[in-house]
Each structure stands twice: as C-alpha cells, then as structure tokens.
Amino acid sequence: MLPIANVGRIMKGILPGTAKISKEGKQTMQECATEFISFVTGEASDKCHKENRKTVNGDDICWALTALGFDNYAEVIVRQQALSLFFLSSETFRSATHIHYSTGNVHT
C-alpha cells in the first residue's frame, strides 16, 4: 500500500485549505490508489511478459493506461516526460556552456 501520510498530503494539496479529511477518507483513497497502480502495472507487466522482457518502462505504463481506457492519463505522462527531457537537456546545455542563471551570460 502507498504510505498513508503521502496520500493525505496529496489530498490536502488538492482540496481547499479549509477542507478536513477523515482517517477513513485517507484509507479509502490509499486503497483505491494502490489498486489502480497494481491494475495498470499488471497490464504493463503482462505486455512485457508477452514480449519476453523483464523490465517495465514508462512507455509500457503509457500503453497500459491507453489499453485500459485511461488515454487522458497517458497523455499527461507523455507530456510530463517531454517536459522533463526538455529541462534536463536545458540544464545540461547550461552546465556545458556555463550560462549564468540570473543574467543569461555565457562564460567559457
């Protein structure tokens, strides 16, 4: 199961600041989120098994989400992966060229 403190923190971050979350509410969300993750991961794992692979990757998770009818979730993950790659490459570029963050000046 997912840690209940993490589930509660995520719920608290989404709900209005004045909202109260019961222990039972956190436990129910914990159970649902854990089941959802197991469901998607199981589908991705089955795909890998059929393809004689042992490692599930991000593409497998996106495929499983789409296959299970959660296309909108898969789209969000693909966009997030693209943003992560963009920022990673930007950080690598800045490090390689010694671009100063606050001024944008290039130091060689």
pLDDT tens string 25-80: 999 999 999 999 999 999 999 999 999 999 999 999 999 999 999 999 999 988 88
Average pLDDT over residues 69-97: 79
- What span, in angstroms and rounded, lies between the C-alpha atoms of 97 and 3? 41
In a domain, 75, yes or no: yes
Q: Residue 13: pLDDT above 80?
A: yes
Considering the domain architecture, whether residues 74 and 45 belong to the same structural domain is answered as no
pLDDT of residue 84: 80
Considering the domain architecture, whether residues 45 and 79 belong to the same structural domain is answered as no
Considering the domain architecture, whether residues 1 and 49 belong to the same structural domain is answered as yes
Provide the residue range defining the domain that includes 76: 70-108
pTM (2 decimals)? 0.71
Q: What are phi and psi of 71, to 5 degrees?
A: -55, -40
Considering the domain architecture, whether residues 46 and 90 belong to the same structural domain is answered as no
pLDDT of residue 88: 73
In a domain, 61, yes or no: no
- What span, in angstroms and rounded, lies between the C-alpha atoms of 63 and 94? 33
| Non-local CB neighbours of 64 within 8 Å, separated by 6+ positions | 40, 41, 43, 44, 47
